[in-house]
Chain A
Amino acid sequence: MAAIYLDHAATTFVLPEVRAAMEPYLGGPPGNPSSIHQFGRRAKAAVEDARDAVAALIGAPPSDVVFTSGGTEADNAALIGAALALRDRGRHIVTTAIEHHAVLHAAQWLETMGFEVSYVEPRPDGVVDAGMVARVMRSDTILVSVMWVNNETGAIQPVREAAGLARERGAIFHTDAVQAVPWLPVDVEEAGCDLLSMSAHKLHGPSGIGALYIRRGTPWMPLLRGGAQERGRRAGTENLPGVVGFGVAAARLLSKRRTGFEHAARLKAALLQAAREEFDGEIVVHSPERAVPAIVNVAFPGAAAETVLMNLDLQGIAASSGSACTSGSLQPSHVLKAMGVPDSVIRSSVRFSFSVETTMEEVETAGRAAGRIARRLRRRNSHG
C-alpha cells in the first residue's frame, strides 16, 4: 500500500537534521537556560542561536521573538495580551470570519469579558478586503488581527494593506502567519506587523513549540507568570529540545522558501490535472490564484468528502477536510461557509497540503485516486 502524506498543513514530519540537532538536548546532560553552571550556559546559548534563526525567517530582531508552546498559544497571547494592555484605551477589536479557531475563540472569549469584536467576511474567493477592515474600525478600535495565509484554502490575505490601515488609525496589528512563514518571504518590517504568530511543526520542526513576534514598544502584557524567562514575556522553563528543533528547521527553510513555493505551484497544477482526468464532474477549486499553492482545497460535487477521505486513507493516502482542528467537531468549515460556498459543496470539499519534500509522483497518484473515488461515489449516489 502506498504511503502518501498530503496533510502537511495539519502537521508535517520532523526533518532528520532537526531531530539530530534536538537529540543532545533530550538524551544529553540536563541544562536549564536560567542556571549559572556550564550546563545552563550551553542551554542558554542554544536557545539564543535558535532565536536568531527564527527571527531571520520573519525579518525581526531576535529580541522581539518570544517562544511559546505553539501557534495556538501565540495567537491567544497576541489577542488577549494586547486587549488587556489596551483595555483602558478602547474595547473594540477587528478580525476576520476566516481566522483559525485559535484567534476566533480567543476573540469570542474576549467578547464575554466585555470587549466588542467585528468579524470581517471574506469575498467569495476567500480573500478579505483590506478596505472592509478599515471600514469597520472605530475610534476605540485597539487591535486588528488578520491572518496572513488561510489554513484551509491557502488564500493570501492583504496583510500589508490591512496593517497600514490599522496602524494609521492607531490600532495595533496582529497576523497569524502560521501557514505563511513556511512558504512566503515574511518580513515584519515590510508588512508592518506589531504581533505575528508562528509554529514550528508546520515547517518540519517539532510540535509543542511556536513563537510570537512582539515589536518592541507594542502595548502588550504576558499571560503566563512565574519566571523571568523570555525577558519576562513568557514564564516557564524553556522547551529546550523544541526550541533547538525550531531553530534548525527555520535555518533550513530560509534558504529553500523561494524554490519551495515554485515547487508547490507545480504540484498543485499536477494534482488538479490528475483529479480532473479521473473525475467526470466539474471540480470546484476553493483556493484562489493569490494563494500559497501548497494548500489545495477542492470540491468533488456529489461525493461526500468524509467518504472520499476514508477511501483515500484505505489506499494509504492522507488528506483532510478543512483543518484538523475542525474535522473532529462535526461542524462544516467556517471558512468555506464565510465564503458563501453552499453546504452541499462544503460537504464534498477535500484539502490536500504539501511539503517541500512532496513529489510529483505522489500528487499525481493522489489526484487520480481522489478523482476515481469521487467518480464512483457520485455514481453510487445518483443511481441510488
Chain B
Amino acid sequence: MDKGTVVVAMSGGVDSSVTAALLKEQGYDVIGITMRLRGHDEESSGGCCSVDDVNDARRVCQSLGIPFYAVNYRDAFEKRVIQYFEEEYKRGRTPNPCIACNMYMKYDLLLAQAMDLGADYLATGHYARIAYDEDRARYVLRKAVDRRKDQTYVLYHLTQEQLARTLFPLGGYEKTQVRELAKRFGLRVANKPESQDICFIPNGDHGEFLRRRSGGEPVSQGEFVDIEGNVVGTHQGIPFYTIGQRKGLGVALGHPVYVVDILPETNRVVLGSEDRVFARGLTASGVNWIAAARPDHPLRVAAKIRYAAPEAPATVYPERGDRIRVEFDEPQRAVTPGQAVVFYQGSEVVGGGTIEGRL
C-alpha cells in the first residue's frame, strides 16, 4: 500500500515519536528529521533540540526502522525567532515565538526540505485536524479531539498550499491515548515529560534571557505613569512588562494597579486599575483566512487572544489588505499587541492574525 512519503518533524518527545510510528503503521514511507535550532553551548542545557533530544529522536527512528536526519537551522532560528522575540519586547509588545517557529522553521524551511527529499507531506505532532471540504474546495483546520491539548491557536497561519501538504495524525487522539500508543509501539520516550514553555528559555525567565542576550548591557529604565500621565515610579525596562501584569511592578498606589499600556516611544509603562485592562476590541494585521477566502462582510466568530484564553464572541470587520478590526460582545482582559488573535466557528478555524492595537 503506497500512501506516499512523509517527513516527520521529530523533537525527541512522545508526540512526534508517536506521529512517526502511526504514519509508518498506516503505510507511509516515513523519514524523521530533527531541526537543530540552538548553538553548541546551549545544546546541553535542556529545552528543545538538546543533544539528548536529537539522540532520542535518532534512536526512536532506528527502532522504527526509518531514516533519520538532523538539519541545522541555527542561523535561521536566531534571526526569525530569537531576534523577533527580542525586538517585539523592545517595541513594547509580547511575542509568540512558537508561532514564529511554526511559520518560519517548520512550515517554511522544513517543508521545503521535505519537498527536496521528494516527500509528499510534512507531519508534526501538533494536536489539530485537517480536512478537505469538497463544497468549499478548501482545506479546513479543525480543533483537536482532545480540546485541552488543541494547538490550532499556533497554526492559524497555515496557507492552503501548506495545509495540502501537512498531516496531523494526533488530532484525533486524547493525550492519554497517545501515551498508551507510545507504550504499545515500545517507544523509549513513552514516559518522557512534556516540554514546557518556550524551548530556548527552559527556566521560563524571559527577563533574564533578554538581559543575558543584551550582553549584560542594562536595559534602559523608564517611568511608570498613571492614566493621567503623572509619574508614579521607575520601571526596569519595557521588555519586562506585559499588558495586564500585576505582579512585580514594585509601586504602591494604595489600590491594585495593572499594566494597561506600554509606550515604547516615550519608554513609559502606563499603570491603571483593573477595568482599564479590558478592551472592547482590537486591530490585527497579517491575517490569514482558512475556512473561506477573505470575506467582504462582517463575520460572527469566537475569538481567542492568547493560547490559554477562553474564546470570546466577537464580530470581525475586514479592513484594507490583510488587516481587520475585531469587536467583542463583552470587553476582554489583557488584549496584548504581538500575540495572535484566532477566530473560530464551532470547531473550525476561520483564520487569525497578529494583534496590533486595542480599541
Residues of A bordering B, CB below 8 Å: 304, 306-307, 310-311, 313-314, 329-330, 377, 380
Given contacts A330-B36, A330-B72, A330-B74, contact A314 B115 (CB under 8 A): no
Do residues A307 and B116 form an inter-chain contact, with CB atoms below 8 A?
yes
- Does B4 touch A at the CB level, under 8 Å? no
- Does B259 touch A at the CB level, under 8 Å? no
Beyond known contacts A314-B67, A330-B74: 14 more, CB 8 A cutoff: A306-B69, A306-B72, A307-B116, A310-B117, A311-B116, A311-B118, A313-B67, A314-B31, A314-B117, A330-B36, A330-B40, A330-B72, A377-B116, A380-B116
A326 to chain B, nearest CB (A): 12
Q: Which residues of the other chain, A, contact B118 by a CB distance below 8 angstroms?
A: 311, 314
Assembled-state Cα–Cα distance A306/B112 (Å)? 13
Q: Which residues of the other chain, A, contact B40 by a CB distance below 8 angstroms?
A: 329-330
Assembled-state Cα–Cα distance A377/B116 (Å)? 6
Q: Mark B108-133, 1 if CB is under 8 A from A, else 0.
A: 00000101111000000000000000
Q: Give which listed residue, A306, A311, A329, contacts B71 with CB less than 8 A.
A: A306
Do residues B115 and A311 form an inter-chain contact, with CB atoms below 8 A?
no
Q: Mark B53-87, 1 if CB is under 8 A from A, else 0.
A: 00000000000000101011010000000000000
Q: Which residue of B lies closest to A329 (CB)?
A: B40
A307 to chain B, nearest CB (A): 5
Do residues B117 and A311 form an inter-chain contact, with CB atoms below 8 A?
yes
Q: Which residues of the other chain, A, contact B72 by a CB distance below 8 angstroms?
A: 306, 330
Assembled-state Cα–Cα distance A377/B117 (Å)? 9
- Chain B 18-71 interface residues, beta-carbon cutoff 8 Å to A: 31, 36, 40, 67, 69, 71
Most central of B40, B69, B116, B117 by chain A CB within 10 Å: B116
Assembled-state Cα–Cα distance A307/B31 (Å)? 13
Q: Mark B92-119, 1 if CB is under 8 A from A, else 0.
A: 0000000000000000000001011110
- Show 8 residue pairs from A and B whose CB-CB distance is below 8 angstroms, ordered by the A residue: A306-B69, A307-B117, A314-B67, A314-B118, A330-B72, A330-B74, A377-B116, A380-B115
Assembled-state Cα–Cα distance A310/B69 (Å)? 7
Q: Which residues of the other chain, B, contact A306 by a CB distance below 8 angstroms?
A: 69, 71-72
Assembled-state Cα–Cα distance A380/B113 (Å)? 11
Residues of B in contact with A, size category: 10 to 19
Interface of B is mostly: mixed
A166 to chain B, nearest CB (A): 35
Q: Which residue of A lies closest to B39 (CB)?
A: A330
Residues of B bordering A, CB below 8 Å: 31, 36, 40, 67, 69, 71-72, 74, 113, 115-118
Assembled-state Cα–Cα distance A314/B29 (Å)? 10
Q: Which residues of the other chain, B, contact A329 by a CB distance below 8 angstroms?
A: 40
Q: Which residues of the other chain, B, contact A330 by a CB distance below 8 angstroms?
A: 36, 40, 72, 74
A316 to chain B, nearest CB (A): 10
Assembled-state Cα–Cα distance A348/B187 (Å)? 35
Q: Which 8 A-B pairs have the closest CB atoms?
A: A330-B72, A307-B116, A310-B69, A310-B117, A377-B116, A311-B117, A314-B67, A313-B67
Q: Which residue of B lies closest to A303 (CB)?
A: B116
Assembled-state Cα–Cα distance A380/B117 (Å)? 11
Q: Which residues of the other chain, B, contact A310 by a CB distance below 8 angstroms?
A: 67, 69, 117
Q: Which residue of B lies closest to A384 (CB)?
A: B112
Assembled-state Cα–Cα distance A350/B72 (Å)? 17
Do residues A307 and B113 form an inter-chain contact, with CB atoms below 8 A?
yes
Q: Which residue of A lies closest to B72 (CB)?
A: A330
Assembled-state Cα–Cα distance A310/B71 (Å)? 10
B113 to chain A, nearest CB (A): 7
Q: Which residue of B lies closest to A304 (CB)?
A: B116
Q: Which residue of B lies closest to A315 (CB)?
A: B118
Q: Which residues of the other chain, B, contact A304 by a CB distance below 8 angstroms?
A: 116
B4 to chain A, nearest CB (A): 14
B82 to chain A, nearest CB (A): 17
Q: Which residues of the other chain, A, contact B71 by a CB distance below 8 angstroms?
A: 306
A236 to chain B, nearest CB (A): 29
Q: Which residues of the other chain, B, contact A377 by a CB distance below 8 angstroms?
A: 116
A263 to chain B, nearest CB (A): 31
A78 to chain B, nearest CB (A): 28
Assembled-state Cα–Cα distance A330/B37 (Å)? 11
Q: Which residue of B lies closest to A381 (CB)?
A: B116
Assembled-state Cα–Cα distance A271/B55 (Å)? 34
Q: Which residue of A lies closest to B69 (CB)?
A: A310
B76 to chain A, nearest CB (A): 13
A287 to chain B, nearest CB (A): 25
Q: Which residue of A lies closest to B71 (CB)?
A: A306
Q: Which residue of A lies closest to B5 (CB)?
A: A314
Q: Which residues of the other chain, A, contact B36 by a CB distance below 8 angstroms?
A: 330
B51 to chain A, nearest CB (A): 10
Assembled-state Cα–Cα distance A311/B40 (Å)? 26
Assembled-state Cα–Cα distance A380/B116 (Å)? 8
B122 to chain A, nearest CB (A): 15
Assembled-state Cα–Cα distance A329/B40 (Å)? 8
Q: Which residue of B lies closest to A309 (CB)?
A: B69
Assembled-state Cα–Cα distance A304/B117 (Å)? 11
Q: Which residues of the other chain, A, contact B113 by a CB distance below 8 angstroms?
A: 307
Q: Which residues of the other chain, A, contact B31 by a CB distance below 8 angstroms?
A: 314
Q: Which residues of the other chain, B, contact A311 by a CB distance below 8 angstroms?
A: 116-118
Assembled-state Cα–Cα distance A306/B74 (Å)? 15
B118 to chain A, nearest CB (A): 7
Q: Which residues of the other chain, A, contact B74 by a CB distance below 8 angstroms?
A: 330
B52 to chain A, nearest CB (A): 15
A97 to chain B, nearest CB (A): 21
Most central of A306, A307, A310 by chain B CB within 10 Å: A310
Assembled-state Cα–Cα distance A314/B67 (Å)? 7
Q: Which residues of the other chain, A, contact B116 by a CB distance below 8 angstroms?
A: 304, 307, 311, 377, 380
Q: Which residue of A lies closest to B115 (CB)?
A: A380
Q: Which residues of the other chain, A, contact B115 by a CB distance below 8 angstroms?
A: 380
B112 to chain A, nearest CB (A): 8
Assembled-state Cα–Cα distance A313/B66 (Å)? 11
Q: Which residues of the other chain, B, contact A313 by a CB distance below 8 angstroms?
A: 67, 69
Q: Which residues of the other chain, A, contact B69 by a CB distance below 8 angstroms?
A: 306, 310, 313
A315 to chain B, nearest CB (A): 10
Assembled-state Cα–Cα distance A37/B165 (Å)? 70
Q: Which residues of the other chain, A, contact B117 by a CB distance below 8 angstroms?
A: 307, 310-311, 314
